[in-house]
Amino acid sequence: MYITTKYISQAGFFPVMYEELTAAGLTLSEARIYSVLVELGKAQAGMISRKTGIHRRNVYDALERLIEKGLASFIRENNKRYYMASEPKKIIEAIDAKKEALMGIMPMLDAKFNAVKQKQETQFYRGVEGIKSIFEDQLLSKKEILAISPAYQAKTALPYYMKHYTNARIKRRIKLRLIYTGGIHGKQTPLAETRHLPKHYESPVSLDIYGEKAAILVWGAEPAAILISNRDVAKAFRNYFELMWKIAKK
């Protein structure tokens, strides 16, 4: 590993890895002061200021922060305050303490993150073009498609596009299991297995499940759809489809 080192200006001082110390959470001033304390053993603020080139007022501020972090301490001798560095391993202990504190709030952070992510996984579409984009997504996924659909709505709303969609699905060897609501409809197509439900199950809403996605399509003068990209939601809808598949007639 390549390590960049800097030297304290005074001769005789060892190379100080400021970048590594700042990466561990110290400011540049804290890193320089801590390094001087390690070298000198103990020193007054004035000596630290001269050795580091840091203004005395800033030295005091940095020393207070180092003491708060457990990386420095002081003693009084002849009414004078001398500062000393804590053992270098205290830096690792400080990092571990921060890590432990972060782990304590991680469940809450994960919950908030997943809640926001869940919202982002739900997309809304309006109009014929929006519906087409969902069908195109099905073709791109190349996963088996499970669908519960009213008998005529898709072909009525998208007469030309559905021919393209069916041909593309067959070409890509994508299997389809389709439950028609409202009676038997149309002829059988390759790679498709269909069943039907009685007339009283008819609805203007379709449900398509593919991969880890579920799409709810509402047909009408202005079609609309909700696409949910979520493994658990897709699994729940898939279970619902399998139940309806058993009920539906061939």
Range(s) of the domain holding residue 58? 6-91
**223 lies in some domain:** yes
Q: What is residue 23's predicted lDDT score, i.e. its pLDDT?
A: 73
**Are 219 and 207 in contact, with CB atoms under 8 Å apart?**
no
Query: Does 25 or 146 have the greater pLDDT score?
Result: 146
Percent of the chain with pLDDT over 90: 32
Q: What is residue 234's predicted lDDT score, i.e. its pLDDT?
A: 94
Whether residue 225 has pLDDT greater than 90: yes
DSSP string, 146-213: EEEEESSHHHHHSHHHHHHHHHHHHHTT--EEEEEESS--S---TTEEEEEE-GGG--SEEEEEETTE
Residues 35 and 145 in one domain: no
Q: What is residue 3's predicted lDDT score, i.e. its pLDDT?
A: 32
Residues 45 and 150 in one domain: no
Which residues share a beta bridge with 216? 207, 226
Measured in degrees and rounded to the nearest 5, phi and psi for residue 210 equal -155, 135
Render pLDDT for 23-63 as a digit per residue (tens, 0 to 9). 777 888 888 888 888 888 888 888 988 888 899 899 999 88
Residues 125 and 169 in one domain: yes
Query: Last residue of a domain, which of 52, 72, 91?
Result: 91
> Using CA atoms, how far apart are residues 228 and 123, in angstroms rounded to an integer?
7
Query: Last residue of a domain, which of 76, 91, 106?
Result: 91
Residues 168 and 79 in one domain: no
Render pLDDT for 4-24 as a digit per residue (tens, 0 to 9). 334 344 434 444 567 777 777
Q: What is residue 114's predicted lDDT score, i.e. its pLDDT?
A: 76
Q: What is residue 90's predicted lDDT score, i.e. its pLDDT?
A: 83
Q: Domain count for the chain, please give it.
A: 2
Q: What is residue 139's predicted lDDT score, i.e. its pLDDT?
A: 95
**137 lies in some domain:** yes
Indicate the pLDDT class of residue 2, thresholds 50, 70 and 90: very low
Q: What is residue 12's predicted lDDT score, i.e. its pLDDT?
A: 41
Render pLDDT for 164-199 as a digit per residue (tens, 0 to 9). 999 999 999 999 999 988 766 556 778 999 998 888
User: How large is the average pLDDT for residues 139-147?
Assistant: 95
Query: Does 13 or 248 have the greater pLDDT score?
Result: 248
Residues 130 and 241 in one domain: yes
CATH number of the CATH domain containing 146: 3.30.870.10
Q: What is the DSSP secondary structure assignment for residue 249, as one 8-state letter?
A: B
Residues 156 and 205 in one domain: yes
Indicate the pLDDT class of residue 69, thresholds 50, 70 and 90: confident
